Structure 1
Amino acid sequence: MSSARAGLRAPEANRSNALHPGAWWVWALGLGTAASRTTNPLLLGLLVGVAGYVVAARRSEAPWARSYGAFVKLGLFVLGIRLVFAVFLGSPIPGSHTLFTLPDVDLPEWAQGVRIGGRVTAETLVFALYDGLKLATLLICMGAANALANPARLLKSLPGALYEAGVAVVVALTFAPQLIADLQRLRAARRLRGRPDRGIRGLLQVGLPVLEGALERSVALAAAMDARGYGRTAAVPPLVRHTTSALTLGGLIGVCAGTYGLLAAEGAGFGLPVLLVGVGAALGGLWLGGRRSVRTRYRPDVWGVRAWLVSGSGAAVAALMIRFASTDPAGLHPGVVPLVAPTLPLWPAACVLLGLLPAFVAPSPAAALSPRGPRSPRSPRKEAR
């Protein structure tokens, strides 16, 4: 029995079975797509719970993995701002259950349709709560991808045509966590020396070393990139360059037009074909653009069976939620006028639970990999020293 349980248990992460970082983003985007298709607070809360459980089960101890809490706080902040705007600026939703009345501000004629203050109804607050909760859930799902996917390994997996833009994005995303880590380290050092670390005075005295450290890291990064030949490209014929530009630009236009067709009620017939053609053209342009890149990849990440399971679970949640949005709109969008209590639809809730699959099939982060690979064990002589 113990051997059977060990065979079903997810293995510890190592270089051979490390999960592809793109799988985490596909999974998170699937949950975000499902969140965009419903305003039911019970389903949105279930999506947040699924994302939080997977992050708690498969998050490593890396500095970038601590960003999930910041995204949760940002989602709560956005929800609060949405409620404040609904109270002071009103809402187009009519209502008959008046909660309180604020002083009304008279606006000029050119500001017709905008009001400040006035009557605040329960329908207005509930509509704002549903709307803000959907946006907060989207932010939390993106925070789960940031906490689970290694940005350095994700950069290695980008196509050659997107490598330069990917470096800029990764540097921008990792600058803030490194800055916060430096600030915490310097504040701890000042507390050990008995110096103040709070208030304006402590912040001013800590700010200069933090900026100095950021400048040193920037110079070291520029030197490392120059030493590795970053920015050098291979010569390609002019016809290939023009074809790459035409395919990429046309593919992006096709993706935008196809997405609009899928979202609009009148474009359901042409939306999916145009989207598929646009995606194919964009991928062709990226493949041709990658011929200009002369970089090589050391130990590229493999998209294995577990990556297919993780990404497939997120895609299944998105597809099923889109299906239920057309077959059961009342369950996914509870009524506000008249005001009714939301109910939990069983089948959509069951499909959301498919998003828990990565918590059981993804490799355990106990032996999480750094961008340079696992460290070799120290010898007994070094340990004695």
Structure 2
Amino acid sequence: MGAGEPPSGESPAARAGTPTRHDRRSTRTAQAATRLPAPRHRPEALHPGAWWLWALALGTAATRTTNPLLLALLIAVSAYVVVSRRSHAPWSRSYGAFVKLALAVILIRLLFTTVLGSPIPGTHTLVTLPEVPLPDWAQGIRLGGRVTAEGLTFALYDAMKLATLLICVGAANALANPSRLLKSLPGALYEMGVAVVVALTFAPNLIADVQRLRAARRLRGRPDKGVRGLLQVGLPVLEGALERSVALAAAMDARGYGRTAQVSAPVRRTTAALTLGGLLGVCAGTYGLLTAAGGTYGVPVLLAGVAAALAGLWLGGRRTVRTRYRPDRWDARAWLVSASGAAVAALLFLAAARYPAALRPGVVPLVAPGLPLWPAAAVLIGLLPAFVAPAPHRVSVPAPAPAPAPAPAPAKESS
């Protein structure tokens, strides 16, 4: 072998530092293994107003019936939609708190009926409590006495109606982003909307703070239950709420909250007249719809009042100077979600008028309530948002790239 020749097994390109074909193929394989997946198109979130219209329509449908089977079906529909379409944001965890509040309402109503009695007469006595005599000025009120199955059943039906309404409101809190809802409000309602949004986000943030502090106390081996744990968690929670309030006030002041534009006097008078006249028209039209004598003028007066109120809100919004960054669009999915809730409410209104005995079962005599078929099928229309609303965005962590295989050890040359 000459002095200028390369050693055996090594090419001139490798000796000169130029990568060979095998090196380039290995480099491309390593880059493909470590390359992140291409970002997929994230579907646009649903308009928060559609979630609130859907939930309020389900709550309105709950007010038209005391049938426990229909009320339980409404709760199941709202729970399924919340489980399938809520995100992982802190405000979306408030649904469980509303469910617990609904259970507390039912227990308190049953407790009051047991202690204070019920106006519903009954023959099935469950227990007889010692009755406390009351003075003459407390006529109509009693403490203790007979507790009947009819009175407890009537209290349970009535409490389930209020509990279903609370759960529907909790579904709207868990599905709709409060800040995006505030951004979608008209300009005339902006100040009131800020107060409502702050009030609605107080409970979810409070629950998130309590969960975080309890988890921290468990990690430190300290008690997080009972009266002692509650007292030791309460002070940090209140401190965090105060800090959030100060930070919110500073952010609102920095963004020019409360700044208004100059509007001429005729516009202000027209706005006040339209708003006041519209509200009076809405009240008169609603009264006409609820009474038998006002059925002829109720709908026209209500529509005129709504139109005047909307015009007043539009003119009042000219005083509020604010900009919107990427406003939410009301697309076809928002129409479908809100229309599904409106269909449930309208069909239950119709069912309550045509079949009052099925939607408001009696308790005297005490009989088991039945499930009306087509009102139950109407309630199932409320499941439409679980299929047409966009799924919540979940961040996927890419799998780690496999480690490169070790290079084979060079063979020893035989002597």
- TM normalised by structure 2 equals 0.80
The Cα shift of 1:307 comes to 0.3
The match for 2:302 is 275
Q: Is the 8 A contact 1:13 1:367 kept in 2?
A: no
Identical positions, percent:
77
Q: Is the 8 A contact 2:94 2:207 kept in 1?
A: no
- Greater radius of gyration (CA): 2
Match of 1:302 among 302, 306, 329: 329
The Cα shift of 1:198 comes to 5.0
The Cα shift of 1:300 comes to 0.5
For these two proteins, the number of residue pairs brought into alignment is: 360
CA distance in 1, matches of 2:383, 2:118: 36
CA distance in 1, matches of 2:190, 2:172: 20
Match of 1:317 among 334, 344, 365: 344
Cα 1:125–1:196 change in 2 (3 A) is closer
The match for 2:196 is 169
Structure 2 residue identity aligned to 1:176: A
Structure 1 residue identity aligned to 2:50: A
Structure 2 residue identity aligned to 1:73: K
Q: Is the 8 A contact 1:13 1:365 kept in 2?
A: no
The Cα shift of 1:327 comes to 0.9
Q: Is the 8 A contact 2:55 2:341 kept in 1?
A: yes
CA distance in 2, matches of 1:157, 1:343: 42
CA distance in 1, matches of 2:287, 2:355: 23
Note the alpha carbon deviations across 1:290-313, whole angstroms, 9 max, x for none.
000110111100100000000000
Structure 2 residue identity aligned to 1:235: Q
| Range that drifts further, 281-290 or 268-277 | 268-277
Cα 1:13–1:274 change in 2 (3 A) is farther
Q: 2:172 matched to 1:145?
A: yes
Q: 2:212 matched to 1:185?
A: yes
Q: 2:162 matched to 1:99?
A: no
The match for 2:85 is 58
Q: Is the 8 A contact 2:118 2:151 kept in 1?
A: yes
The match for 1:245 is 272
Cα 1:80–1:266 change in 2 (3 A) is farther
The match for 2:257 is 230
| Range that drifts further, 142-151 or 105-114 | 105-114
The match for 1:26 is 53
Q: Is the 8 A contact 1:13 1:364 kept in 2?
A: no
CA distance in 1, matches of 2:379, 2:268: 44
Q: 2:119 matched to 1:84?
A: no
The Cα shift of 1:165 comes to 1.1
The match for 1:126 is 153
Cα 1:193–1:345 change in 2 (3 A) is closer
Cα 1:107–1:338 change in 2 (3 A) is same
Structure 1 residue identity aligned to 2:56: L
The Cα shift of 1:202 comes to 5.1
CA distance in 1, matches of 2:363, 2:106: 18
Look up the SS of the partner of 1:19 in the other structure. Answer: coil
Q: CA RMSD in A?
A: 2.4
Structure with the bigger percentage of helix: 1
Cα 1:358–1:84 change in 2 (3 A) is same
CA distance in 2, matches of 1:265, 1:186: 56
CA distance in 2, matches of 1:195, 1:261: 61
Cα 1:289–1:31 change in 2 (3 A) is same
The Cα shift of 1:64 comes to 0.6
Structure 2 residue identity aligned to 1:20: H
Cα 1:300–1:335 change in 2 (3 A) is same
The match for 1:262 is 289
Q: Is the 8 A contact 1:13 1:366 kept in 2?
A: no
Q: Is the 8 A contact 1:35 1:138 kept in 2?
A: yes
Cα 1:298–1:230 change in 2 (3 A) is same
Q: Is the 8 A contact 1:83 1:125 kept in 2?
A: yes
CA distance in 1, matches of 2:145, 2:225: 42
Structure 1 residue identity aligned to 2:173: N
The match for 1:158 is 185
Note the alpha carbon deviations across 1:95-123, whole angstroms, 9 max, x for none.
22222222222222222222222222221
Cα 1:40–1:182 change in 2 (3 A) is closer
The match for 2:359 is 332
The gaps in structure 1 that reach 5 residues or longer are 1-11, 369-376, 381-385
Look up the SS of the partner of 2:296 in the other structure. Answer: helix
Cα 1:39–1:194 change in 2 (3 A) is closer
Cα 1:88–1:13 change in 2 (3 A) is farther
The match for 1:17 is 44
CA distance in 1, matches of 2:248, 2:56: 31
Note the alpha carbon deviations across 1:241-264, whole angstroms, 9 max, x for none.
122122222322332333333334
Look up the SS of the partner of 2:297 in the other structure. Answer: helix
| Range that drifts further, 28-37 or 83-92 | 83-92
Look up the SS of the partner of 1:269 in the other structure. Answer: coil
The Cα shift of 1:190 comes to 4.0
CA distance in 2, matches of 1:103, 1:26: 48
The match for 1:356 is 383
Structure 2 residue identity aligned to 1:285: G
Q: Is the 8 A contact 2:278 2:305 kept in 1?
A: yes
Note the alpha carbon deviations across 1:25-55, whole angstroms, 9 max, x for none.
1111111111110111111111111011111
- TM normalised by structure 1 equals 0.86
The match for 1:3 is none
Q: 2:166 matched to 1:112?
A: no
The gaps in structure 2 that reach 5 residues or longer are 1-39, 401-415
CA distance in 1, matches of 2:130, 2:294: 44
